Amino acid sequence: MEEVIKVEGLTKVFNGSLTAVDHINFSVEQGEIFGFLGPNGAGKTTTINILTTLLKPTSGKAEVCGYDVFKNANEVRRSVGVVPQEYTADEDMTGINNILLCADLYGMPRSDSKPHAAELLKLVELEDAANKKVSTYSGGMRRRLELACGLINYPKLLFLDEPTLGLDVQTRTAVWKYIKTLKEDYRMTLFMTTHYLEEADSLCDRIAIIDHGRIIRVGSPEELKESIGGDVIVVAVKEVEPDISSDIAKIKLVKDVKKNAEIYRMKVELGEEASPQITDLIRSKGLHVTRVSLTKPTLDEAYLEFTGRNLREEEVDKLQMFRQRRTMRQARS
Amino acid sequence: MDKTKPKQHTTIENSSVQQKQNEENPTREQRQFITPPKVNKSHLHGLWALTNRDLRKWYTNPIQLMVSLIQPIIWLGLFGKALNFGTFIAGSGATPAQQNAILLKFFGTTSYFSFLACGMLAFIVLFTSAFSGMSVVFDRRFGFLNKALSTPVARGSIVMGKILQSVGRSLIQAAIVLVIAVILGMDTTHFNPLGVAGAFLIIFLMGIGLSALFTMLALRSADWQTQMAIINLLNLPLLMASNALFPKTIMPTWLQDVVSVNPVSYANDATRQLLIGATGMNSLLVDFAVMIGFATILSAIGIVLSWRLLSK
């Protein structure tokens, strides 16, 4: 597999004291959706800003599409698309003119950018609003326009910074659909940051959990959930005695059994397969099952396990918070 | 209101049907965007697009243009007409010939209104240029700057775009101010095409230099209050410590020294010689040399700073 992003020992220190990103290593492979997950101020935006050549790294190496982000910044800029967190489209211009402005910044000739812009507007279902001013757009339409702008230069890799921040369910579903289309139909690689765990869970092939500027864990959503201990099965039986915990523990998929009065609580692998085996065993011992529940670990739990449950009260960048509030406001308009 | 919404729903349904078909058929068809063509890699690509983006905001919003013209009209109409130096001197009992001699000695022309009209050309350029930095601040604040920085457009073009849009506005506003001044009684006996063209070349150079100055002060800022304070701090001294409103010769010597290093004075000196045939403080050659130097040096500094300051 070809590596589209390769990051080694990447560090960014602001004003000589604040370490926003601290010796991180990771790589993103061709064709995957890679998610960056972490609390506010964890270093997500700093990393994305370094990878999109907006910030110079203090030390370490970052290669994007085979080019060094510092030495070959312009080659990196030509190969990637960026969909920023903010709504950056010009309010006074029409949707199509905003996309054409982006195309001009990439130096694309109009003979190419015009048909391509039309194609992209169709992809994000904005062709009817193409000639309306952006100031008349709803939050969802603005977000879709930003996505189209980010795709204008035929990027091999697309960066998405909080792509669904503040959006309603319909638009969020549509954005997810576009992201899947880009990966599956256009074989694009996507790098996204998000606050929303269900988003990372349903879209990303691999997730890096980042906190305090360090990557804590990298893996597929399944691996991350698995790593905090597997599924939990709770079985209630009619009879308090006899205790058959030791028999249940003998089942291969069961890792741990705890009994409390008539309730058995088991940590198991592959809950769906383990569950009938357990109930069959209990019945074969002549006991009566009254209730069974299977709980699968969520990414939320994995995330809280890795980043801790403490509320974050660190100071964050003033400008970044302003932009985030503005994005949320516009998304709801 | 999102008018495309009903349509969006049907498309989602269609595509989910399509997806089902695709799932049944494992060899899903690969879609491709049309092959990218060769792109323009010159350092100037995108410069016009960025300039026009800002100019468009202005020419599609006539109220903004009208409001920006009211101020110099008030200065011309009220200040220029009220401060009638001719009557002032006549009050001392001088003959008309003596009056003209005195006016000519101080203002280089017999009409104070015409003298001030040329100063107003500098005034409109100065006040337009001062706000060129504001759009950098807002572009940074609203994220457009970051979007532009993530494209291969030259960093210098981002700054030059801001400078050129401001110069474009300055030239058009100066032309309108000149027309209004003529309507209000500016002396046109010395007008000739070459002189007018020369005057606008001077205005162009002054616009470049001043916008470059105010743009570079805004390169690192995301705070519009600070930027407003800077504009107010620099604007009036640049105007008052120049020969825009009063001739250098009636000022105290220390102020004369300041006026002599203020590029705005050289611009006024040149436009007065070119438009109303006033006797100037320097030769036109000196004025042009100073203005060309001012525009070149400040825009060069602006471009160099853009490489260092636009991204951290």
Q: What is the pLDDT of residue B307?
A: 87
Whole-angstrom CA distances from B149 to A76, A83, B173, B306 are: 12, 13, 31, 11
Residue B221 confidence (pLDDT): 82
Statement: residue B6 has pLDDT above 60: no
* Residues belonging to chain A: 333
The whole-number pLDDT of residue B153 equals 93
Lowest mean pLDDT of A174-188, B3-17, B83-97, B267-281, name the range.
B3-17
From chain B, pick out residues whose CB is under 8 angstroms from the CB of A80.
150
**Residues near B15 by beta carbon (within 8 Å), at least 6 away in sequence:** A177
Query: CB distance B152–A108 less than 8 Å?
Result: no
**Per-residue pLDDT, B88:** 77
Adjacency order of strands within the sheet including A254-260 = A254-260, A263-268, A231-237, A289-295
pLDDT at B14 over 50: no
Task: Flag whether pLDDT at A302 surpasses 60.
Answer: yes
Min Cα distance A166 → chain B (Å) is: 16
Is A185 close to B150, i.e. CB distance below 8 A? no
CB count within 10 Å of CB B281 equals 21
Domains of chain A (ranges plus CATH)?
A: 3-225+308-331 (3.40.50.300), 230-296 (3.30.70.100)
The answer, yes or no, to whether residue B157 has pLDDT greater than 60, is yes
| Of the candidate ranges B56-60, B129-133, B137-141, B283-287, the one whose mean pLDDT is the lowest | B56-60
User: pLDDT digit string (tens) for A70-87?
Assistant: 999 999 999 999 999 889
Average the pLDDT over B132-140 and give the result: 90
Q: Residue B11 above 50 pLDDT? A: no
Q: Which residues of B touch A129 (CB under 8 A)?
A: 3-4
Which of B1, B2, B32, B63 to probe by mutation at the A interface, max A CB count within 10 Å? B2
Instruction: Look at residue A146 in the predicted model and tell me its pLDDT.
Output: 95
Q: What does the pLDDT average to over A311-323?
A: 70
What is the per-residue pLDDT across B175-184, written as a single tens digit (0 to 9) for each? 999 998 999 8
- From chain A, the residues in CB contact with B11 under 8 A are 125
Query: Which A positions 125-144 lie with beta carbon below 8 A of chain B?
Result: 125-126, 128-129, 137-138, 140-141
Please tell me the predicted confidence (pLDDT) of residue A116: 92
**Average pLDDT estimate for B21-46:** 62
The residue in chain B having the minimum alpha-carbon distance to the alpha carbon of residue A52 is B150
Other CB atoms within a 10 A radius of the CB of residue B67 amount to 10
Average pLDDT of chain A to the nearest whole number: 88
**Smallest Cα–Cα separation from B147: which of A221, A153, A256?**
A153
A306 closest CA partner among A22, A20, A37? A37
pLDDT at residue B299 in the model? 95
For the record, the structure tokens of A324 come out as 């985030």
Q: How confident is the model at residue B310 (pLDDT cuts 50, 70, 90)?
A: confident
Answer yes or no: are the C-beta atoms of A247 and A281 closer than 8 Å: yes
Instruction: For residues A149 and B129, give the distance between their C-alpha atoms in angstroms, rounded to a whole number.
Output: 31
Q: Write the burial class of residue A3 (CB in 10 Å: 0-12 exposed, 13-18 middle, 19+ buried).
A: middle
State residue B37's pLDDT score: 63
Question: A278, A259, A266: which is closest to A234 by C-alpha?
Answer: A266
Identify the pLDDT of residue B1: 42
CB B211 within 8 A of CB B234: no
Q: CA–CA separation, B25 vs B237, rounded Å?
A: 75
As beta bridge partners, residue A294 has: A233
Residue B12 scores a pLDDT above 50: no
Closest residue in A to B55 (Cα–Cα): A92
Highest-confidence segment of A191-205, A248-262, A319-333, B283-297: B283-297
* List of long-range contacts for A182-187, beta carbons under 8 Å, 24+ apart: A182/A151, A182/A158, A183/A31, A183/A32, A183/A33, A184/B28, A185/B28, A185/B30, A185/B31, A186/B31, A186/B32, A186/B33, A187/A31, A187/B30
Q: Looking at the complex, report in whole angstroms how far the Cα of residue A41 sits from the nearest Cα belonging to chain B.
A: 18
pLDDT reported for residue B34: 53
A93 touches chain B (CB under 8 A): yes
Residue A313 has pLDDT above 70, yes or no: no
Angle CA A204–A137–B12, to nearest 5: 45
CA atoms in the 13 A half-sphere facing the CB of B259: 22
Domain boundaries, chain B: 46-54+65-309
pLDDT exceeds cutoff 70 at B22: no
pLDDT of residue B282: 86
Q: What is the mean pLDDT of residues B110-119?
A: 89
Higher pLDDT pick, A101 / A285: A101
CB of B12 less than 8 A from some CB of A = yes
* Residue B60 touches chain A, beta carbons under 8 Å: yes
Q: Which residues of B touch A109 (CB under 8 A)?
A: 37, 39-40
More confident position, A72 or B8: A72
Element housing A105 (H / E) = helix A95-105
| Chain-chain contact of B4 with A128 (C-beta, under 8 angstroms) | yes
Q: What chain A residue is nearest to B57 in terms of C-alpha separation?
A: A92
B32 reaches A (C-beta below 8 A): yes
Q: What is the pLDDT of residue A143?
A: 93
**8 Å CB contact of A126 and B4:** yes
- Please give the residue that has the higher pLDDT: either A269 or A105: A105
Q: Is the pLDDT of residue B112 over 60?
A: yes
Distance CA A139, CA A142 (A): 5
Q: What is the pLDDT of residues B204-245, one digit of tens each?
A: 999 999 999 999 999 888 788 888 999 999 998 999 999 998
Dihedral pair phi/psi, residue A224, rounded to 5°: -65, -40
What is the ipTM metric for this complex?
A: 0.80
Residues of A with Cβ-Cβ distance to B150 under 8 angstroms:
52-54, 77, 80, 82, 84
Interface residue of B3, B4, B306 to substitute, partner A, most A CBs within 10 Å: B4
Structure tokens at A119: 């194609």
Name which of B263, B273, B302, B64 is nearest B162 in CA terms: B302
Partner-chain contact B11 A125, CB within 8 Å: yes
Chain B residues in contact with A92 (beta carbon < 8 A): 56-57, 60-61
The answer to whether the beta carbons of residues A80 and A4 sit under 8 Å apart is no
Can the peptide bond before residue A242 be classed as cis, meaning omega within 30 degrees of 0?
yes
As a whole number of angstroms, the distance between CA B250 and CA A284 comes to 114
Could you tell me the two tokens for A162?
Answer: 């909080």
Q: Percent of chain B beyond pLDDT 90?
A: 49
Mean per-residue pLDDT of chain B = 84
Q: Are strands A189-194 and A157-161 parallel, antiparallel or unpaired?
A: parallel
- Angstrom distances, CA of residue A55 to CA of A51, A60, A69, A73, B308: 8, 13, 9, 11, 11
Calpha distance B167→B209 (Å, rounded):
9
Q: How large is the average pLDDT for residues A169-179? A: 92
Which whole-number Å values give the CA distances from A270 to A229, A231, A232, A276, B182, in the listed order?
Answer: 11, 7, 10, 11, 89
pLDDT digits (tens, 9 = 90+) for A92-108: 899 999 999 999 999 99
* Residues B58 and B134: beta-carbon distance below 8 Å: no
Q: What pLDDT does residue B2 have?
A: 43
Q: Are A278 and A237 in contact (CB under 8 A)?
A: no
The DSSP letter of residue B36 is P
